[in-house]
Amino acid sequence: MTNKLTAGGRFRKALQENQPLQIVGTVNAYSAMMAQRVGHQAIYLSGGGVANASYGLPDLGMTSMNDVLEDVRRITSAVETPLLVDIDTGWGGAFNINRAVKEMIKAGAAAVHLEDQVAQKRCGHRPNKEIVSLQEMVDRVKAAVDAKTDDDFFIIARTDAFQMEGLNAAVERAQACLEAGADGIFAEAVHTLDDYKAFSTGIKGAHLLANITEFGATPLFNKVELAENGATMVLYPLSAFRAMNKAALNVYQHLLDDGDQKAVIDTMQTRMELYDFLNYHDFEQKLDALFAEGKNK
């Protein structure tokens, strides 16, 4: 009998089978279901996305571990696609990081990324970030690795040092994080393909994540050119969320201005499309069968 892969095992399998692995942001269970149906092999829960979408807060480290876990559980209950989770700075010291990793595994996450900003963090593409010392980041990674209850659970060390200290210092941090047991490196807010190449060379071809987020410091490179320059993972953290927001705002404005939704109906997912993604009719048929069974008694 073949043992079923854990969530971490499914993430590693997807990483092996996709060069590079595209990881798409999903802010809730339904968007995760759509991403899975389309065929994406890995999905993502952004810390900024949790703050923005679930709590109406900016991405400034204001949400708790339990806030993020709630969204993790909702997503992993709805899909099998392996989920990468943003755990920011780990919500505290070594014990907090240790607990966070254990709780993420229990909640069904496949992977996490942990960063080297100070606790009062900022969005990675904003100015005036502050980072902890290299040794403190190494200690964070060690705490995360020591917490693993699943050997396949995937831990990515994110460094924001590129903006603060330059390429060489950021690569040095990446090397130290890998030596501490990280499975991959998240090079945040870099500017060029040559930067990715330098990171990849510096970490000797270890797994490298490129964060291709809109309206940030990094151009919207294609997955092929990223792979050619050493990236094994490409992250699109909030692309769908931004599109959803723009579409919703447009509908709200038309309802107010026009008094109806006729002008925007073509931009909406239909009722039947929604039902299809939700497998609504399977549930309804089960309900019909139960009612019929009750009437025949």
Asked if residue 213 belongs to a known ligand binding site, the reply is yes
| The pLDDT of residue 286 | 77
CB of 216 within 8 A of CB of 178? no
Q: How far apart are CA 42 and CA 209, in angstroms?
A: 13
* Residues marked as catalytic: 44, 59, 86, 88, 113, 115, 123, 158, 188, 211
Count of beta carbons in the 10 Å neighbourhood of residue 70: 15
Name the pLDDT band for 1 (thresholds 50, 70, 90): very low
Q: Which residue has the higher pLDDT, 294 or 112?
A: 112
Asked if residue 88 belongs to a known ligand binding site, the reply is yes
Name the pLDDT band for 117 (thresholds 50, 70, 90): confident
Identify how many contiguous H helices and E strands the chain contains and give both numbers: 14, 8
pLDDT tens for 47-64 read 999 999 999 999 888 899
Q: How far apart are CA 190 and CA 159, in angstroms?
A: 10
Percentage of residues in the chain with pLDDT exceeding 90? Answer: 80
Asked if residue 8 belongs to a known ligand binding site, the reply is no
Asked if residue 242 belongs to a known ligand binding site, the reply is yes
Q: Which residues pair with 111 in a beta bridge?
A: 84, 154
Residue 260 burial (CB < 10 Å; 0-12/13-18/19+)?
A: exposed
Name which of 14-18, 120-124, 281-285 the model is least confident about: 120-124
CB of 157 within 8 A of CB of 178? yes
Asked if residue 39 belongs to a known ligand binding site, the reply is no
Q: Which residue has the higher pLDDT, 188 or 284?
A: 188
Name the pLDDT band for 87 (thresholds 50, 70, 90): very high
Q: Average pLDDT over the chain, rounded to whole?
A: 92
Asked if residue 160 belongs to a known ligand binding site, the reply is no
Question: Which structural domains are found in the chain, ordered by start?
Answer: 7-238 (3.20.20.60), 245-292 (no CATH)
pLDDT tens for 136-178 read 999 999 999 999 999 999 999 999 888 778 899 999 999 999 9
DSSP annotation string for 148-167: -SSTT-EEEEEE-HHHHH-H
